[in-house]
Structure formats: C-alpha cells, structure tokens
C-alpha cells in the first residue's frame, strides 16, 4: 500500500488500510461496503489498543468466547456470524497460527506462496460457501476451527448461519453493514462526520480506490513460470 500512500499523501494510513479492506472484498466478488472515511492516524504505539484482543481459534467454550470478544465492541450475534463469513477468503498456516494443514489440494499451487489450509475451495472468491462448507462437512481438506463450528452448534448463532448458507444476498447485506461498523470502532474522525462523497480529499480517495483495485487485481494474476 505504500506506493499509493506516497502518491496520495493526504490520505491517512488508517483510511488507506480500511479502503484496501473494502476494495479487496468487492474485488473478490463480495458486496460494496458503505465505508466512512476521515480517520486520524495515531502518532505512537501508546495510542493503540493492547495486543491480544483478537478471538482465539480454539477456546474451551467457542461461542461464549466469541461473544466475550465481540460484545465488548457493541456487536451482536448476527454481526458475529456475518463477520465470521470473511473466512470465505484466505488461508491459515500452521507455522504462523498453529492451525491448519501445511498444504491441501486447494493451496499447494498458490496463487502466491503455496501452502496453508483454506476454509473454502475458491479461497480468493467472496461468497457464502464458508457457511455451506461448515454445514455440509464434506471435505477434510477445508479448515473448520472450533469457533467456525460453533456457528452451527450454538442455537442463536445457528439461526444466522443457516440463513447465510441458504441466502447469499442476505449474507452480503449483513456482512457489508457489520464490516463498516467494525471498521469505525475506536477511530477518531476529522471532521467528526464525513463520508467519501463529501470529504475534502474526495478526488484523491477515489483515485486511490482505483489504484487499490488495480493493485489487488494484479496481485490475483497467476505468476509467470
């Protein structure tokens, strides 16, 4: 992302990272995220939250743990399940997280660095297959963490997990809203109320968005032999 920051210096790192997250979801086939921009960067590590705030993958009580982590941020059961659906993208690497296989039939050839275990067969495509795969439990090459399985084991979570497995449009709608909400938590905005459509740096943000789409598209291109 640094080349884009260098090209458009008035955009903060905080906005740029969030812009990249929303662009990646959309580029992978997911919904357009109703993002808000104008975040102010911190000036030192003392202004950042302490490490260790992310959920564990294998707690003794997965559903309770997810609620403990996300409820303190003002997120509810529907938003927890919707955000979990982001696991439709990406891989887990055992050498980094302690979870997943070193490689599978879906990851052994990349794209990018080969290896790891994905939650879905098409792990660069954003859709509702994450929920379908957990429900059907048909492929041992796909990863299911204890916190993933909890979505169909906990009665309250299951209502939404079943809904998203059956209705991709409903998942996209709820995910987009939850992603936007999560992206603004703890952020300071200047001015306090701003959107990309009225920001004083709207031209640069739109140009950066185009550059982000280009960079992400290029990164997904198969590498030459």
pLDDT tens digits, one per residue of 79-106: 999 999 999 999 999 999 899 999 999 9
Whether residue 195 is contained in a domain is answered as no
CATH number at residue 41: 1.10.420.10
Does 197 fall in a domain? no
pLDDT at 195 over 90: no
Q: How many domains does the chain have?
A: 1
Is 196 a member of any domain? no
- Asked whether the beta carbons of 194 and 36 are under 8 A apart, the reply is yes
The half-sphere exposure of 99 on its side-chain side, counting CA atoms within 13 A, is 16
Which pLDDT value is given to residue 193?
59
Is the residue at 90 inside a domain? yes
Q: Give the angle 73-93-114 at the CA atoms, nearest 5°.
A: 130
What is the Cα–Cα distance from 94 to 108, expressed in whole angstroms? Answer: 14
* pLDDT greater than 70 at residue 197: no
Least confident span in 54-58, 76-80, 154-158: 54-58
Q: Is residue 168 part of a domain?
A: yes
- Helix (H) / strand (E) containing 91: strand 91-92
Query: pTM of the prediction?
Result: 0.85
DSSP H or E run through 77: helix 77-84
> Residues with Cβ < 8 Å from 110, sequence gap 6 or more?
222, 223
Do the domain assignments include residue 29? yes
118 within domain boundaries: yes
What's the pLDDT score for residue 53? 81
Contact (Cβ atoms closer than 8 angstroms) between residue 126 and residue 25: yes
* pLDDT value, residue 49: 82
Question: What domain range includes position 20?
Answer: 1-183
Residue 213 has pLDDT above 80, yes or no: no
Over its C-alpha atoms, the chain yields an Rg (Å, rounded) of 18
What's residue 222's pLDDT? 45
pLDDT exceeds 90 at position 210: no
Confidence of residue 200 (pLDDT cuts 50, 70, 90): very low
Q: How many CB atoms lie within 10 A of CB 147?
A: 20
Alpha carbons 208 and 225: distance in angstroms, whole number: 30
- The answer to whether 63 touches 154, Cβ cutoff 8 Å, is yes
**Which of 17-31, 67-81, 181-195 is predicted least confidently?**
181-195
Is the CB of residue 123 less than 8 Å from the CB of residue 90?
yes
């Amino acid at each position: 992302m640094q080349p884009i920051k260098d090209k458009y210096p008035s955009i903060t790192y905080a906005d740029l990272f969030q812009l990249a997250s929303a662009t990646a979801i959309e580029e992978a086939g997911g919904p357009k995220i109703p993002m808000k921009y104008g975040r102010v960067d911190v000036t030192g590590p003392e202004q950042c939250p302490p490490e260790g705030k992310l959920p564990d993958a294998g707690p003794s009580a997965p559903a309770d743990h997810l609620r403990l982590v996300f409820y303190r941020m003002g997120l509810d059961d529907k938003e927890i399940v919707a955000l979990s659906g982001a696991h439709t993208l990406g891989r887990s690497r055992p050498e980094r997280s302690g979870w997943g296989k070193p490689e599978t039939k879906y990851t052994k050839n990349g794209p990018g660095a080969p290896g790891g275990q994905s939650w879905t067969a098409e792990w660069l495509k954003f859709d509702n297959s994450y929920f379908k795969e957990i429900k059907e439990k048909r492929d041992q090459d796909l990863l299911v963490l204890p916190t993933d399985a909890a979505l169909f084991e906990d009665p309250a979570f299951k209502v939404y997990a079943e809904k998203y497995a059956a209705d991709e449009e409903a998942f996209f709608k709820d995910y987009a809203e939850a992603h936007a909400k999560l992206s603004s938590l703890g952020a300071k905005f200047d001015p306090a109320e701003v959107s990309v459509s009225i920001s004083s740096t709207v031209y640069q943000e739109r140009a950066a968005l185009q550059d982000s789409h280009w960079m992400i598209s290029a990164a997904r291109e198969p590498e030459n032999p």
